Structure 1
Amino acid sequence: MSGVDFSPRVALASLSGAADAAWARAASEYAGCAFLGGLSLDGPTREAARALVARDRDEFLPEDPVAFVDAQLTAADDLPMTLGVNVRTTTLAPLRDVARVCDDHDALLEVNAHCRQDEMCAAGAGETLLRDTDQLCEQVAAASEAGATVSVKVRAEVEGVDLPALARRLDDAGASVLHVDAMDSEWTVSDIVEAFDGFVVANNGVRDRATVREYLAHGADAVSVGRPSDDPRVLSRVREAADDWFAERADGENEGGPRATR
């Protein structure tokens, strides 16, 4: 596994237009990692974001996305958690700029290969990148070479996409984290864990003890919470379940028994 780690093993998944430093601070008691964003970086993705806003979706559209990332990470630098920034782009120059800012703040840069909104996919970003492996790997390599520790947010159940095979390519390109929206195919996490040498965060429907334990039993290193990330009741349940799981694994190891995680 990569050197990426955080505690508790609960992440907050980015929510476009909502996941900023204040959002991370409000939930920092319950999570060990927070992905700010998503943030559109270049002309095509920013135009797509404007179209999304026009149909009443929330999006971050700062005048200067790079300065926005720097300001948000600065505002959250004192938090006792790992920070990340989820970004969407079709070009490499702004990606490299944000990667350098993330490196300065010891934050993860998360390449968004997950958004399935029509406007973003038509621009060539988000889920479209799952089918354009070369371009996705090029983005990962560019961000990694600029100094950032790279996460990639991916989605299961995309027709024609072999996620374990993609995971191997992303590993070779320099990704340290895969953030997997398993959709209704929780079992796919096991296949990705087998294919990827880095840190795997499992997402989708994480709400309670049962969902946390299911993903961790499939080998995920952590879980992430999406829409309920502003609900302390959900976050408290998820953190308690994750803490209990890893405490049980540690107790088993200390007693000489097999450990059920990687």
Structure 2
Amino acid sequence: MSGSGRPFDPPVALASLSGESVHEWAERGAEYAGAAFLGGIAIDEESREAARAMVADRDRTEFLPADPLAWIDRQLSALADADVRPAVNVRSATVPPVRAAAEACVAHGAILEINAHCRQAELCAAGCGETLLRDADRLAEYVRAASEAGATVSVKVRAEVAGVELRETAAAVEAAGADCLHVDAMDSEGVVASVVEAVPDLFVVANNGVRDARTVREYLTYGADAVSVGRPSDDPRVLRRVHDATAEWFTESEQRREVQP
């Protein structure tokens, strides 16, 4: 990323894939991370209806707080004194609730993350999650609404989606006002380099399989500005390894720049 601003530092994020990311989880990992992505939660009626179906079919209750905006306010208020920047990952099939969630995040200095990532059939049928990834114009509308509300905006995406060119998606959301692209690389880690090449001014967070120095260095060598830890985000041993490896890599990178003629 060219430019001086970073949405969070240190450049390690907590990004639970269980969907059960709440303020207590963020507080436990704050020692090792610069950001914690809470949620994701369903915030409009269409996505909430899909979440209700998921509750009925698979007991996935974490997507469905009784009052999404009140949940955001409570969670972010609880993190007011934590040494980590909170972010809220939201699922929505419509734009207005995204704007409202962005305004709630602005009030707490939090990042608003638009979920264009989840592939559960119920969410996709409702028009959110991965469905947004397949429609860059519609995704850009969400980003624009959140950005115009004054939020720092992240977009969570995944690689290996048929018919989706992440370079083009990245360019579209950047033009709409996104600040971060949170890339689940799946088994295509090199996609991070392709995205960074396309949008060098977008803050790129690499996700998937981040566990140790080897995986950290792989993503940072590809040009990622930060990494995020998914499933083991509640394991302090993993977080410590990732934090230390990231700090070491950026220290070495700075030293290399200093000795260049």
Q: Name the TM tier (shorter chain).
A: over 0.9
Deviation (angstroms), 1:221: 0.3
Q: Is the alpha carbon distance of 1:180 and 1:242 closer, same or farther for their aligned partners in structure 2, counting shifts above 3 Å? A: same
SS in 1 for 2:157: strand
**Corresponding residue for 2:225?**
221
Q: Indicate if the aligned counterparts of 1:17 and 1:58 stay in contact, CA closer than 8 A.
A: no
Cα offsets for 1:18-77 (capped at 9, x unmatched): 101111001111111111110100111111112222213342322210111011001001
SS in 2 for 1:86: strand
**Corresponding residue for 1:29?**
31
Return structure 1 stretches of 4+ with deviation > 6 angstroms.
none
CA distance in 2, matches of 1:97, 1:77: 20
Cα offsets for 1:184-213 (capped at 9, x unmatched): 000010010011221000000001110000
How many residue pairs match? The answer is 257
CA distance in 1, matches of 2:34, 2:229: 12
Residue identity over aligned pairs, in percent, reads: 62
SS in 1 for 2:204: strand
Matched letter for residue 157 of structure 2:
V
Q: Indicate if the aligned counterparts of 2:18 and 2:231 stay in contact, CA closer than 8 A.
A: no
Matched letter for residue 204 of structure 2:
V
TM-score (norm 1): 0.95
CA distance in 1, matches of 2:100, 2:241: 37
Deviation (angstroms), 1:14: 4.0
1:128 partnered with 2:131: yes
SS in 2 for 1:59: helix
**Corresponding residue for 2:212?**
208
Deviation (angstroms), 1:17: 4.1
Q: Indicate if the aligned counterparts of 1:88 and 1:111 stay in contact, CA closer than 8 A.
A: yes
SS in 1 for 2:140: helix
Which of 22, 37, 40 is matched with 1:38 structurally? 40
* 1:163-178 to 2 correspondences below 5 Å: 163-178=166-181
**Corresponding residue for 2:144?**
141
CA distance in 2, matches of 1:16, 1:237: 21
* 1:30-69 to 2 correspondences below 5 Å: 30-54=32-56, 55-69=58-72
Give the gaps of 5 or more residues in structure 2.
none
Q: Indicate if the aligned counterparts of 1:39 and 1:61 stay in contact, CA closer than 8 A.
A: yes
